[in-house]
Amino acid sequence: MIHLLDYGAGNVRSVRNAINSFGFQVADAKQPEEIVAADKLIFPGVGNFGVVMGRLAASGFAEALRQRIALGKPTFGICIALQAMFEGSEEAPGVAGLGIIPGQVRRFFKPGLAVPQIGWNNLKLWRDSPYFAGYGGERLYFVHSFYADLNENNRDWTLATTSYGGEYISAVAKGEVIATQFHPEKSGEAGLNILGNFLKRRQTLTVASDSAAACPPKQEPSGPPGLAKRIIACLDVRANDEGDLVVTKGDQYDVREEGIVRNLGQPVALAERYYREGADEIAFLNITGFRDFPLQDQPMLEVLEKTSEKVFVPLTIGGGIRAFTDKNGKHYSALDVAGRYFRAGADKISIGSDAVATVEAYLRRGAADGASPIEEISRVYGAQAVVISVDPRRVYVTNPSASGHACIKTKFPGPGGEKYCWYQCTVKGGREGRDIDAVQLATICERLGAGEILLNCIDRDGGNQGFDLELIAQVKAAVSIPVIASSGAGKASHFPEVFRETGADAALAAGIFHRNEVAISEVKAACAAAGLLVR
């Protein structure tokens, strides 16, 4: 029996599924005494340091964790749990951590460095560890804006370090206690193996915890250090005319062919296929979410629940993430909707139409009111859990300065020979244009706490002509959060092209994967051949 400390923030379902995949049962530790008494305890989660420490203190769990770790009982901490072991964090000045490891947690900061770090990085192992038995230096999945700072007083705890804007602590261990900044339950087979080593261990650890400085790295990274470019498979999902939930695909957002909703496969089966084929993330977009009510749209929740049982890389869900009032007049906030999706197995939620409405309100008011879905969800689950999905289309102009928008001089003149264009944001899957441009949307959403931009392009969608490099370069230059290039991929070489030309952090495709025209492995080979870091 493995006990799980679920304090209610973040996608714990995937940790449960990972534990079950090894044949172990999970029990929730609900009382402080259970935390101390449990044979093995896993403490997972993402979220805001201040919120997490507040919940741990209020429930008496903080003191129980200190006791347990002082007893050296088998404990595995994930992500925010590693950070909580330190004395404090810049994310919540004045809030004490558990204080088990000397040192502070700091915010990534380096000009040009995308924050949060989202994706696959590798690590240096500074000593042998039974938890890393069988680890061959593979990249693991990180998603965080703050890092544990290495210093002379915590080297004895430091098991591994990772390079991102500098060297930081990515795993700590002492005796039977281990914590990782990366998510083993989201790091594919390499991550599951690390978790499995913890779950299957029987004897007490005898390996001495010599300090990190005393010996050279036991395991160098398998490839150059640093964050890899992510290749994301995207599944646009909606009910077809018979009411079955299918994976479909638009051509400039038109998903019908001869009047019939294109059916490119079953959501869960396709997601499992892409996981096996090496996708770094899977994104589900419920493209009629603007009119469905997700909490009654059980099929979408069921797709997530089933997918997270077999797919151990990050899952993003978009479509209909906004406040709702159901037919009985019961109100659900965007936070309620997002929380339901996280509990169903999503790691990130993506907001499309409602982000445009939020930015329109922001521009009318001239400031944030702290109540937008972006701010609400980011405050509780962290910026890295909030993706903004942008559905822009080109608007050509002859006189950019008169447009009132962020224009570019384009290589592809408009129908009237116009040499300039801006990118108009739309809502409801491109059905309605708004007087907001992609740069306004991205920069204001970043300011409100979004952690990533999913940058689609209606003009390029389904066209196989390559990504809209001018659009992606314009938005990437305007924000410091990661940007996912989307729309238009037609061949493997379109991926290294978009990374090289725009600095995008990830690239997403749908049609070429669903139609088996290009394999994910071909895309990664093309990126590696172009000298890019890939998993």
Nearer to ligand 1PR, 220 or 326 (CB): 326
Residues in contact with ligand 1PR, shown as a per-residue x/- string from 331 to 350 under the rule CB under 6 A? -------------------x
Choose, from 185, 376, 461, 505, the residue flagged as catalytic: 185
Residue 71, sorted as left (phi over 0), alpha (psi -120 to 50) or beta, turns out to be: alpha
Minimum CB–partner distance for residue 411 and ligand 1PR (Å): 20
**Tokens read off for 378:** 């980011």
Choose the binding region for ligand 1PR from 16-24, 109-117, 171-179, 285-293 (rule: CB under 6 A): 285-293
When CB distances to ligand 1PR are compared, the closest residue is: 429
Query: Binding of ligand 1PR at residue 389 (CB under 6 A)?
Result: yes
156 is catalytic: no
Minimum CB–partner distance for residue 160 and ligand 1PR (Å): 35
Number of residues that bind ligand 1PR (CB under 6 A): 33
Choose the binding region for ligand 1PR from 191-199, 415-423, 456-464, 521-529 (rule: CB under 6 A): 456-464
Minimum CB–partner distance for residue 475 and ligand 1PR (Å): 15
Choose the binding region for ligand 1PR from 218-226, 295-303, 304-312, 455-463 (rule: CB under 6 A): 455-463
Q: What is the dihedral of CA 27, 32, 36, 37, to 10 degrees?
A: -50
Pairing of strands 506-509, 408-409: unpaired
Task: Give the span between the Cα atoms of 139 and 365, in whole angstroms.
Answer: 44
**What is the DSSP code string of 463-522?**
--S---HHHHHHHHHH-SS-EEEES---STTHHHHHHHHH--SEEEESHHHHTTSS-HHH
Residue with tokens 């400039």: 252
Choose, from 79, 234, 445, 527, the residue flagged as catalytic: 79
Nearer to ligand 1PR, 170 or 502 (CB): 502
Minimum CB–partner distance for residue 489 and ligand 1PR (Å): 5
Among 123, 351, 383, 479, binds ligand 1PR (CB under 6 A): 351
468 is catalytic: no
Among 6, 138, 297, 354, binds ligand 1PR (CB under 6 A): 354
The single-letter DSSP state of residue 204 is P
**Tokens read off for 295:** 């909490």
Are 290 and 427 in contact by the 8 Å Cβ rule? The answer is yes
Q: Coil, helix or strand for 186?
A: helix
Are 95 and 184 in contact by the 8 Å Cβ rule? The answer is no
Minimum CB–partner distance for residue 104 and ligand 1PR (Å): 37
Cα 415 to chain centroid distance, Å, stands at: 39
Query: Binding of ligand 1PR at residue 352 (CB under 6 A)?
Result: yes
Task: Give the span between the Cα atoms of 340 and 334, in whole angstroms.
Answer: 10
Task: Give the span between the Cα atoms of 159 and 175, in whole angstroms.
Answer: 11
Residues 6 or more apart whose CB falls under 8 angstroms from that of 45 comprise 6, 7, 9, 10, 12, 52, 78, 79, 80, 81
Among 176, 281, 297, 391, binds ligand 1PR (CB under 6 A): 391
Residues 6 or more apart whose CB falls under 8 angstroms from that of 406 comprise 422, 437, 438, 439, 440, 474, 478
Query: Binding of ligand 1PR at residue 250 (CB under 6 A)?
Result: yes
Sign of CA dihedral 527, 516, 388, 441: positive
Nearer to ligand 1PR, 184 or 318 (CB): 318
List the interface residues with ligand 1PR, window 212-241 (CB under 6 A): 234, 236
Residues 6 or more apart whose CB falls under 8 angstroms from that of 298 comprise none
At position 519, the amino acid (one-letter code) is A
Minimum CB–partner distance for residue 70 and ligand 1PR (Å): 46
List the interface residues with ligand 1PR, window 488-507 (CB under 6 A): 488-489
Choose, from 3, 183, 405, 494, the residue flagged as catalytic: 183
First to last CA, the chain: 33
Among 462, 466, 482, 496, binds ligand 1PR (CB under 6 A): 462
Task: Give the span between the Cα atoms of 124 and 226, in whole angstroms.
Answer: 11
Residues 6 or more apart whose CB falls under 8 angstroms from that of 92 comprise 48, 49, 50, 53
Query: Binding of ligand 1PR at residue 466 (CB under 6 A)?
Result: no
Choose, from 391, 452, 459, 497, the residue flagged as catalytic: 391
Choose, from 91, 138, 176, 236, the residue flagged as catalytic: 236
Query: Binding of ligand 1PR at residue 292 (CB under 6 A)?
Result: no
Query: Binding of ligand 1PR at residue 353 (CB under 6 A)?
Result: yes
Query: Binding of ligand 1PR at residue 129 (CB under 6 A)?
Result: no
**What is the DSSP code string of 356-385?**
HHHHHHHHHHTS--S-SHHHHHHHHH-GGG
Minimum CB–partner distance for residue 114 and ligand 1PR (Å): 20
Nearer to ligand 1PR, 32 or 352 (CB): 352
391 is catalytic: yes
Query: Binding of ligand 1PR at residue 486 (CB under 6 A)?
Result: yes
Query: Binding of ligand 1PR at residue 285 (CB under 6 A)?
Result: yes
Helical segments of 10-167, H only: 13-21, 32-37, 49-58, 61-71, 80-84
79 is catalytic: yes
405 is catalytic: no
Among 318, 345, 373, 482, binds ligand 1PR (CB under 6 A): 318
Nearer to ligand 1PR, 190 or 356 (CB): 356
**What is the DSSP code string of 128-172?**
--GGGTT--S--EEEEESEEEPP-GGGTTTEEEEEESSSEEEEEE
Residues that bind ligand 1PR (CB under 6 A): 234, 236, 249-250, 253, 255, 285, 287, 289-290, 318-321, 350-354, 389, 391, 429, 456, 461-462, 486-489, 508-511
- Catalytic site residues? 79, 183, 185, 236, 391
